[in-house]
């Protein structure tokens, strides 16, 4: 069983695909346009995406490029045209597989199982270690001195971002852009999350162990000496 996001504007096709996936015990979500799909993928990452290339808001290859900008989720593109050059281009642009419409439920299911199998057997993304802190980026788990940390999604993203840049000062502006994906915003948002993260790491701003504030610049994660 997997969570599959079906991106298709044609209601008839969409419900047919949903029905097929549902019958095979997958958890299915759907979106009718590329922007809704991007929101879904960033907020509740699915295990795989079936992406129709003829969407009302974005051209298929543009939609694929934007999905790849935010996620490595397996994507099967569904196209009405059996155009080899186009399909090769999409595979090169990051699609994992393709289906030419109309396709059967069995065909869809076989392709989906294959991309899921490949994704699951892929080597796990790196594990970051800073002193007694271990951040497993793939499983989104973190532990300190062997004890699991219970972090919110944002706290985890923040910790992982800093751990990947250990011993380097990261500016608030960079955190805002890379962790919050905002081009501008309030430093307080970051400070609040940093203070929550500090508490979970069992330290405080006045007695830091891992998280060091560099006044006026940003923050640095480094192992206690
Ligand atoms: Ca369409």
Q: What is the pLDDT, as a whole number, of residue 179?
A: 87
Chosen domain end from 81, 101, 120? 120
The Å distance, Cα 162 to ligand 1 centre, comes to: 41
Residues with CB under 5 A from ligand 1 (ion): 9-10, 52, 54
Q: State the Cα–Cα distance between residues 91 and 112, nearest whole angstrom.
A: 15
78 C-alpha to ligand 1 centroid (Å): 9
Distance 42 CA to ligand 1 centre (A): 22
- Give residue 26's domain range: 3-120
Could you give the CA distance from residue 101 to residue 79 in angstroms, rounded to a whole number? 6
Same domain? 160 vs 101: no
- Residue 5 alpha carbon to ligand 1 centre in Å: 15
Q: How far is the CA of 51 from the centre of ligand 1 (A)?
A: 9
Q: What is the CATH number of the domain that holds 104?
A: 3.40.50.2300
Are 146 and 155 in contact by the 8 Å Cβ rule? The answer is no
Question: C-alpha angle 168/175/166, rounded to 5°?
Answer: 25
CA of 11 to the centre of ligand 1 (A): 9
Q: Is 122 left (phi over 0), alpha (psi -120 to 50) or beta?
A: beta
The DSSP element (H or E) to which 19 belongs, if any, is helix 11-23
Q: Do 179 and 161 form a contact (C-beta atoms < 8 A)? A: yes
Output b/e per residue, 113-150; b: 16+ Cβ within 10 A.
Answer: eebbeeeeeeeeeeebebeebbbbbeeeebebeeeebe
* The pLDDT of residue 68: 85
Final residue before a domain boundary, out of 66, 91, 120: 120
Distance 67 CA to ligand 1 centre (A): 17
- Single pTM value for the model: 0.58
For residues 205 and 136, membership in a common domain is answered with yes
- Does one domain contain both 135 and 33? no
Mean pLDDT (10-residue bins), the chain, 225 residues? 95 96 96 95 93 91 87 90 82 88 94 90 78 92 95 92 91 86 77 93 93 89 91
Q: Give the total number of structural domains in the chain.
A: 2
101 and 148 both lie in a single domain = no
Q: Alpha-carbon distance 47 to 31, whole Å?
A: 15
Do 101 and 78 touch, CB atoms closer than 8 A?
yes
What is the 38 CA–ligand 1 centroid distance (Å)? 16
Q: How far apart are CA 56 and CA 16, in angstroms?
A: 19
Residues making up the chain, counted from first to last = 225
CA of 110 to the centre of ligand 1 (A): 22
Do 113 and 139 have their domain in common? no
On whether both 131 and 193 belong to a single domain, the answer is yes
Q: Are both 32 and 70 inside the same structural domain?
A: yes
How much distance in Å is there from the Cα of 4 to the middle of ligand 1? 18
State in Å: Cα 53 to ligand 1 middle: 6
Q: Are residues 15 and 108 in the same domain?
A: yes
Of 86, 120, 154, the residue that ends a domain is 120
Distance CA 42, CA 73 (A): 10
Q: Are residues 62 and 163 located together in one domain of the fold?
A: no
Tell how far the Cα of 80 is from the centroid of ligand 1, in angstroms: 8
135 and 215 both lie in a single domain: yes
pLDDT of residue 190: 87
- The CATH number of the domain holding residue 172 is 1.10.10.10
Residues 17, 104 within the same domain:
yes
pLDDT score at 34: 95
Asked whether residue 26 falls in the same domain as residue 96, the answer is yes
């Amino acid at each position: 069983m997997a969570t599959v996001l079906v991106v298709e504007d044609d209601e008839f096709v969409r419900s047919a695909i949903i029905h097929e996936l549902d019958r095979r015990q997958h958890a299915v979500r759907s979106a009718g346009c590329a922007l809704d799909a991007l929101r879904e993928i960033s907020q509740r990452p699915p295990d795989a995406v079936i992406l129709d290339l003829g969407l009302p808001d974005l051209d298929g290859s543009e939609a694929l490029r934007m999905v790849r900008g935010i996620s490595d989720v397996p994507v099967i593109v569904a196209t009405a045209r059996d155009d080899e050059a186009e399909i090769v281009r999409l595979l090169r642009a990051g699609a994992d597989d393709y289906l030419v419409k109309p396709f059967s439920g069995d065909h869809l299911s076989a392709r989906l199982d294959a991309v899921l199998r490949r994704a699951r057997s892929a080597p796990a993304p790196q594990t970051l270690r800073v002193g007694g802190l271990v951040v497993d980026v793939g499983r989104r788990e973190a532990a300190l001195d062997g004890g699991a940390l219970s972090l919110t999604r944002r706290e985890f993203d923040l910790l992982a971002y800093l751990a990947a840049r250990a011993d380097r000062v990261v500016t608030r502006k960079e955190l805002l852009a890379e962790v919050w994906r905002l081009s501008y915003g309030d430093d307080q948002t970051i400070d609040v999350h940093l203070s929550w993260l500090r508490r979970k790491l069992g330290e405080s701003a006045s007695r830091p162990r891992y998280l060091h504030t560099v006044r006026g610049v940003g923050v640095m994660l480094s192992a206690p000496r």
